[in-house]
Copies of this chain bind each other. A is one copy, B any other.
Amino acid sequence: MHHIRDDDLAAMDARYRNMMINSLSGFKSANLIGTSNANGEFNLAIFSSVVHLGSSPALVGFITRPNSVSRHTLENIRLTGHFTINQVSEDFWQAAHQTSARYSAEQCEFEQTGLTPQIIDGITAPFVQESRLKYALTLEQIIPIDINNTLMIIGRISHILCDEQAIKNDGYIDIQCLDTVMVSGLDSYHTGSRLSRLSYAKPNMALRKLSLDGQPETNLT
């Protein structure tokens, strides 16, 4: 096993270190965040830091920097209090990656990448039409992470749009059948291949494989 110590990290080329450290957290979700400014102009940016916070209330967070390439996302959320999160699927993963280019405020990422904005129910933040699982959020809180000048943006889910076929009997959404992609490092994209669903773990009780609908299938061998 290769052993890297904090002295080695400090001495690393900054780009090499950035690539390596970004690989450590494991596979990361790939999501497009849609916002609108005061003039109704749309912004779209890819994020790999969306994280589940809780189900009741339904809260999701993501990490950003105040002055990053995605600063328009943050500005628009502060201004309007609304955003959408759209899972990236295999149909448009390259266009999703292209949203990370440093476009000017006047350049709309939808137009530049060929993705299609979608508006429903008077929500001013745009969804991505091509996304097969997406939701609208209302800003709840922005938490500063002072240690490295990042922010955690927390939203409450108000609307969910999902391909009907992916919703299973117990509420599980089969995001693999939606061809949802994920990221590793900064720039590697992957699809998922299911091992299995597993039963709720209890002490001294053998795990069982579950069907996609959450029904016990077989004992593990």
Interfacial residues, chain A to chain B (CB-CB below 8 A): 1-6, 9, 12-31, 48-61, 63, 85, 87, 90, 93-94, 97-103, 107, 112, 120, 133, 135, 140-141, 143, 145, 147-148, 150, 152, 154, 157-164, 167, 170-176, 180-182, 184-203, 205, 207, 210, 214, 220
Q: How far is the CA of A144 from the CA of B39 in the complex (A)?
A: 35
Chain B hits for A188, CB < 8 A: 172, 176, 194, 196-198
Taking the full assembly, how many copies of this chain does it contain?
2
Q: Is the interface of A mostly helix, strand, loop or mixed?
A: mixed
Residue on B with the closest CB to A182?
B27
The 9 closest A-B pairs by CB, nearest first: A26-B29, A19-B171, A23-B173, A16-B171, A190-B192, A20-B171, A21-B55, A101-B201, A27-B182
Taking a contact as CB atoms under 8 Å apart, the answer to whether A50 and B23 are in contact is no
Instruction: List 16 interface pairs A-B (beta carbons < 8 Å), by A numbering.
Output: A1-B162, A5-B158, A5-B159, A16-B170, A17-B171, A24-B157, A25-B31, A25-B52, A53-B63, A53-B150, A172-B185, A172-B186, A172-B187, A173-B185, A175-B184, A192-B192
